[in-house]
């Protein structure tokens, strides 16, 4: 009886970890290849507009608008001041954006703010929309690179998305470790998918959509993870997201560990909620011949890497030989993945040295598990993550 229980636990751990490490293996391999681009017979005319959803972002919004204007002063910027109780609208207008206010407490999600901004931009003549969060700095080539990819035939794009460290020159292990994990999720895995021809994914910041796509797959995602939810629908319908690796958006990191915990719990819980609701349709799409759905299924059911490592640690205490082989293989994949992610950053030595803080980070992730489960509810709401104002 004891042996049966051990084998059952071993099987459960393996099943729990398999989607993550299968996805990591694909992405690690995909980084060896160049990202695929759309194949268009002729270039098309794109009239791009930027939509910035903002909820009480008075301290950040001007910096974001100024960053976008530095990238291209002619591209219209629409800031959606969504149920704001501060000076977001005034600060955005002063910085040079067109402000679209949405004051309706019945519409509380980021998805609602985006739809409101999309409508305003489309009514003004845009036929493609670039979404940028209100706490973001963008590269000077972001608008140009996005426009070119859309002109070449892409209907959905995602650029490189990373965390902006408060002091990049300082060695702060936990902050570096979080940035490394963020880069692995939003850069390395996206590059790997693009290299193998899968859909890159949407990360909620730095993505673009055409009206052609929106007419066929309306943006009606309302969950706390609206980007993941909408991406699953794109894959179901056979529309891939293309990777823009030479442009970036940098999001301002949360000010405190409490704010960080709330933000990460929303991300993880939101993904869990989407996975439970979207899997059936993704399986149906896969059986119908949409091969990209296999990676998307693995992605939505993947544990965060930190939790995957915790699962691997549990396998050590079980006297099951095949499970140890499985764990060793997963550990090797993880090592290559972390090395690749570090090499994609500007200070790989700092990033790799920060791994010394991994035990503290793993313990912290375990402690916020109840918060993650609460955020997996479909009724969880979009909230502003508390941040300190950036240093001038």
Has residue 113 been placed in a domain?
no
* Residue owning tokens 């020159």: 169
SS3 call for 43: coil
Has residue 247 been placed in a domain?
yes
Has residue 312 been placed in a domain?
yes
- Domain CATH for 361: 3.90.550
Has residue 48 been placed in a domain?
no
Cα dihedral value 257, 262, 268, 273, nearest 10: 170
215 phi/psi in degrees, rounded to 5:
-70, -30
In this prediction, residue 385 carries a pLDDT of: 56
Burial class (CB in 10 A: 0-12, 13-18, 19+), 226: buried
Quote the domain boundaries for residue 319: 12-33+127-375
Has residue 180 been placed in a domain?
yes
SS3 call for 50: strand
* Residue owning tokens 């930027």: 50
Residues 208 and 150: beta-carbon distance below 8 Å: yes
Task: Give the pLDDT of the chain (392 residues) as one tens digit per residue.
Answer: 788 888 888 999 999 999 999 999 999 999 999 988 887 667 899 999 999 999 999 999 999 999 999 999 999 999 999 999 999 999 999 999 999 998 887 677 788 999 999 999 999 999 999 999 999 999 999 999 999 999 999 999 999 999 987 766 666 788 888 889 999 999 999 999 999 999 999 999 999 999 999 999 999 988 778 899 999 999 999 999 999 999 999 997 665 556 666 666 666 666 777 888 899 999 999 999 999 999 999 999 998 888 898 889 888 889 999 999 999 999 999 999 999 999 999 889 989 998 888 888 777 777 767 766 665 554 545 555 555 555 44
Has residue 289 been placed in a domain?
yes
In this prediction, residue 375 carries a pLDDT of: 58
Residues 103 and 124: beta-carbon distance below 8 Å: no
When divided into structural domains, the chain yields a total of 1
Has residue 254 been placed in a domain?
yes
Has residue 83 been placed in a domain?
no
Instruction: Give the largest CA-CA distance in the chain.
Output: 71
Helix ranges (DSSP H) in the chain: 2-30, 61-71, 88-95, 110-123, 142-151, 173-183, 189-196, 211-216, 226-236, 257-287, 293-300, 305-315, 321-343, 348-353, 358-367, 369-375
157 phi/psi in degrees, rounded to 5:
-135, 160
């Amino acid at each position: 009886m004891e042996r049966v229980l051990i084998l059952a636990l071993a099987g459960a751990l393996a099943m729990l970890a398999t989607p993550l490490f299968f996805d990591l293996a694909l992405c690690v391999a995909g980084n060896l290849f160049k990202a695929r681009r759309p194949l268009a017979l002729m270039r098309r005319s794109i009239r791009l507009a930027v939509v910035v959803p903002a909820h009480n972002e008075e301290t950040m919004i001007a910096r974001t608008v100024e960053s976008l204007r530095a990238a291209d002063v002619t591209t219209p910027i629409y800031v959606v001041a969504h149920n704001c109780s501060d000076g977001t609208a005034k600060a955005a207008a002063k910085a040079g954006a067109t402000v679209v206010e949405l004051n309706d407490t019945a519409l509380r999600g980021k998805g609602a703010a985006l739809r409101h901004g999309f409508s305003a931009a489309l009514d003004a003549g845009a036929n493609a929309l670039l979404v940028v969060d209100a706490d973001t700095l963008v590269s000077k080539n972001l608008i140009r690179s996005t426009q070119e990819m859309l002109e070449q035939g892409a209907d959905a794009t995602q650029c490189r998305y990373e965390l902006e460290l408060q002091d990049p020159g300082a060695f702060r292990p936990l902050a570096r470790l979080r940035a490394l994990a963020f880069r692995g999720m939003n850069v390395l895995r996206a590059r790997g998918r693009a290299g193998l021809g899968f859909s890159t994914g949407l990360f909620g910041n730095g993505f673009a959509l055409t009206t052609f796509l929106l007419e066929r797959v309306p943006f009606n995602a309302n969950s706390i993870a609206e980007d993941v939810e909408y991406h699953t629908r794109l894959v179901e319908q056979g529309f891939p997201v293309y990777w823009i690796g030479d442009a970036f958006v940098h999001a301002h990191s949360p000010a405190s560990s409490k704010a960080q915990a709330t933000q990460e719990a929303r991300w993880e819980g939101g993904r869990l909620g989407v996975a439970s609701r979207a899997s059936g349709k993704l399986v149906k799409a896969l059986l119908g011949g949409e091969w990209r759905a296999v990676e998307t299924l693995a992605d939505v059911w993947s544990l965060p890497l930190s939790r995957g490592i915790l699962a691997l640690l549990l396998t050590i205490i079980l006297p099951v030989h095949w499970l140890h082989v499985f764990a060793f293989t997963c550990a090797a994949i993880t090592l290559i993945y972390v090395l690749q992610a570090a090499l994609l950053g500007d200070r790989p030595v700092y990033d790799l040295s920060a791994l010394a803080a991994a035990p503290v980070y793993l313990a912290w992730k375990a402690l916020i598990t109840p918060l993650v489960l609460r955020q997996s509810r479909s009724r969880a709401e979009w909230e502003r993550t508390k941040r300190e104002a950036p240093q001038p």
